[in-house]
Amino acid sequence: MRALTWTGEEVEFRDADAPTIEGDGEAVVRPVAVATCDLDWAMVVGGTPFPAPIALGHECVAEVVDVGDSVRGVRPGALVSVPFQVSCGECAACRRGRTANCRTVPPFSMYGFGQAGGDWGGFLSEAVRVPYADHMLVPLPAGMDPAAVASASDNIADAWRAVGPPLERDPGAAVLVMGGAGPGSIGLYAAAVAVALGAERVVYVDSDPGRRSIAEEIGAEAQDRSGERPGRFQVTVDASNDAEQLMLALRSTEPDGICTSTSIYFGDQPALPVLEMYMKGVTFVTGRVHARAAMPHVLELAASGRIAPERVTTRVVDWDDAPAALLERDWTKLVFRR
C-alpha cells in the first residue's frame, strides 16, 4: 500500500506493508477523509524535534474494513472517527478520561508522528490497524460529511477541552482566544465551540485577516494583535504559539479564571507572570488533549448543527494531490478526500 511520508527532505507517497489484524479486539480501517493538524506544517518543514521518516496524518474519518472476532461496537462498512492517540479504554487513566496517558500502551503512542509516536503509521495511508477497536473507533453520526469532521479526532477535540469544561463550570462566561499557531485552526475551533456553548462574549485575536474573517463568520468578535490586553475574561485560550500572546492571555484572565494553552513551545520556554497568577488565583492548563474522551462532545455539537467545522476548512483536495497541497501552505485547514 501507499503511505504519505515526510522523508526528512520531501513529502512523497512511499510503499508500506499493508496492516493486518493482529488480535481479536483490533480493526483495520480505510481513511476516507484526513485533515491536517496545525502541527503538520511544522513537521514537513523540519520545525519539530520529531525524526524522519514520518508517515503523516493524525486526524481522520475512516471506513471499517475488517474487525477481530471480539469486536462488537463496529462492523465493516461503518464510518468512524479515529483518535490520533492510542488508548485501551480500560486502564485507570482511561477510565478517568485521561486517554492521552493510557497506561497499557507505551507512552506517547500516536498515529502520524513516526518514531516519536511509536511508529503506528499515519492516516494518510491506504489502511491503518487500530487496536482496542471497541474503545478507539467512534461511530460517525448519521448524515455527517466525513470531510466536515475529519479534525474531530484531534484539533476540534483540543479546542473543545480548552473551553467546554471551563464553560460548564462558569456558564455564559466571556471567552478570549489568542489564535494563530501554525495554520491556525485550533483557535478558530475554540471560538466556534465557545459561541455554541453560550459564552456571553467571544473575542478572537489574530494577526491574520483571513482567520479573523472566519472568526467573525463563526460569531466571534475578531481583533488584530495590538500588544494590549483585550479585556478581562473568565476563560482564556492560548492557541497562538507566541510567548507574548500567552502572556496577554494570562494577564487577561480574571480572578479565579482558567487559561488553557493548546500551543506547543519547542526550544526556549516562555516566562509566565507567576506572581500575578498567584494573586488572582488563575488556573493555568497545558498539555496534550485527551482526544478520545473529548470526541463524543465534539461530534454531538457537529451533529446538532451547533458548530459547523467546515467553516474553518479552507481547502478540500483529492488524495493524490496531498504531497503538493501540503507544501503550498495556503491553508488554515486542509482536508484530503478519498
Residue tagged 462574549 (cell numbers): 201
Confidence of residue 260 (pLDDT cuts 50, 70, 90): very high
Q: Which of 41-55, 213-227, 241-255 has the lowest mean pLDDT?
A: 41-55
Mean pLDDT of 19-42: 96
> Is the pLDDT at 46 greater than 90, yes or no?
no
Query: What local confidence, expressed as pLDDT, does residue 23 receive?
Result: 94
Beta 60-67 vs 27-35: how paired, if at all? antiparallel
Per the CATH hierarchy, to which homologous superfamily does domain 155-285 belong?
NAD(P)-binding Rossmann-like Domain (3.40.50.720)
159 pLDDT band (50/70/90 cuts)?
very high
Question: Nearest-CA neighbor of 335 among 309, 302, 304?
Answer: 309
pTM of the shown model: 0.97
Per-residue confidence at 329, pLDDT binned at 50, 70, 90?
confident
Summarize the confidence of residues 128-141 as an average pLDDT.
98
Partnered with residue 82 across adjacent β-strands are 60
Burial of 99 (0-12, 13-18, 19+ CB in 10 A): buried
Q: Which residues of 182-211 are buried (b: 16+ CB within 10 A; e: fewer)?
A: bbbbbbbbbbbbbbbbebeebbbbbebeeb
Least reliable range by pLDDT among 33-42, 173-182, 299-308, 322-331? 322-331
**pLDDT at 316 (0 to 100):** 97
**Is the pLDDT reported for residue 330 higher than 90?**
no
Q: Mean pLDDT, to the nearest integer, of 137-149?
A: 97
Mean pLDDT score across all residues of the chain: 97
Q: What average pLDDT does range 96-120 have in this prediction?
A: 97
Quote the CATH superfamily of domain 2-153+289-337. Medium-chain alcohol dehydrogenases, catalytic domain (3.90.180.10)
Read off the pLDDT of each residue in 174-184 and give the average, rounded to a whole number: 97
Cα separation, 282 vs 176, in Å, equals 14
Task: For the chain, give every domain's residue range.
Answer: 2-153+289-337, 155-285
Separation between Cα atoms, residue 117 and residue 311, nearest integer Å: 30
Chain segment 265-292, per-residue pLDDT in tens: 998 899 999 999 999 999 999 999 999 9
